[in-house]
């Protein structure tokens, strides 16, 4: 049987997938350059809502499949972060505030009338992956968060400067996410490395992260296509 990769090489393989991440997707580049019309930002916020609202369900699937108490303890914090503990709190609520700040009503976000079929297919594929695959692969698929901190910091700065009409309250999602994201990346990586003792499992974890990068890019492909097409 082939030997597993040394941990550093395994980590390096996962980090090298940054090129496949969505930071340089044409839609993000237009967002960062201040080139988006308000209606394009609204389409983006309404579609990202679908991703945000499905993430706690994806995390619940991981909890359901994971027999490791220590991992479950850490993982359930993610659900609490997104859902909050009380009405009016949590990451999802903050995303709704961003959507309102770009000009959407809460109602039109919550009824998902702007969610495009491609977004739904991509995000649902992510949730299904977490339900159907071994839990460590689903955890590995969340490792895009290793790449997300720098992107979110840049997005926050660029949105503040290029879209000054967006009220500061709208950015609470990014400011609060940035506080948790770097730490999460490290502990998630640790869980994946410890729970992939064979080359086969390591390769499966790498494939899971590739899949997730493709999920994210697919969301923006569909948003970008319709954003450019609409009047």
Ligand X SMILES: O=C(O)c1cc(C(=O)O)c2c(n1)C(=O)C(=O)c1cc(C(=O)O)[nH]c1-2
Positions that interact with ligand X (CB under 6 A): 55, 91, 142, 144-145, 148, 151-152, 177, 216
Q: Which residue is nearest to ligand X (CB)?
A: 144
CB of 231 to ligand X, least distance (A): 27
What is the rounded CA–CA span in Å between residue 40 and residue 127?
26
What is the rounded CA–CA span in Å between residue 31 and residue 21?
16
CB of 152 to ligand X, least distance (A): 5
Nearer CB in complex with ligand X: 5/138: 138
Task: Work out the burial of residue 4: count CB atoms within 10 Å of its CB; fewer than 13 is exposed, 13-18 middle, 19 or more buried.
Answer: middle
CB of 147 to ligand X, least distance (A): 6
CB of 95 to ligand X, least distance (A): 8
Task: Work out the burial of residue 25: count CB atoms within 10 Å of its CB; fewer than 13 is exposed, 13-18 middle, 19 or more buried.
Answer: middle
- Residue tagged 């000009």 (tokens): 103
Nearer CB in complex with ligand X: 169/200: 169
Nearer CB in complex with ligand X: 144/202: 144
Nearer CB in complex with ligand X: 91/170: 91
What is the rounded CA–CA span in Å between residue 63 and residue 24?
32
CB of 142 to ligand X, least distance (A): 4
Helix (H) or strand (E) holding 5: none
What is the rounded CA–CA span in Å between residue 90 and residue 74?
17
Q: Find all residues with CB under 8 Å of 145, minimum gap 6, and list them.
A: 181, 184, 185, 188
Nearer CB in complex with ligand X: 5/27: 27
């Amino acid at each position: 049987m082939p030997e597993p990769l040394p941990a550093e090489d395994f980590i390096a393989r996962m980090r090298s997938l940054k090129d496949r991440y969505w930071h340089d997707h044409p839609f993000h580049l237009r967002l960062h350059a201040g080139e988006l019309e308000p209606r394009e930002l609204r389409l983006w916020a309404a579609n990202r809502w679908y991703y945000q609202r499905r993430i706690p369900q994806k995390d619940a699937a991981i909890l359901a499949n994971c027999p490791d108490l220590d991992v479950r303890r850490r993982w359930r914090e993610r659900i609490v972060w997104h859902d909050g503990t009380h009405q009016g709190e949590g990451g999802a609520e903050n995303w709704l505030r961003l959507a309102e700040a770009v000009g959407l009503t809460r109602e039109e976000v919550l009824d998902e009338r702007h969610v495009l079929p491609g977004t739904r297919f991509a995000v649902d594929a992510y949730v299904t992956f977490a339900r159907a695959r071994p839990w460590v692969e689903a955890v590995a698929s969340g490792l895009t968060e290793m790449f997300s901190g720098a992107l979110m910091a840049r997005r926050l700065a660029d949105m503040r400067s290029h879209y000054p009409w967006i009220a500061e309250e709208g950015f609470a999602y990014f400011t609060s996410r940035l506080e948790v994201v770097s730490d999460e990346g490290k502990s998630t990586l640790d869980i994946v490395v410890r729970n992939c003792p064979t080359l086969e499992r390591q390769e499966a974890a790498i494939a899971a992260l590739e899949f997730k990068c493709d999920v994210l890019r697919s969301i923006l492909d569909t948003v970008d296509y319709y954003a450019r097409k609409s009047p």
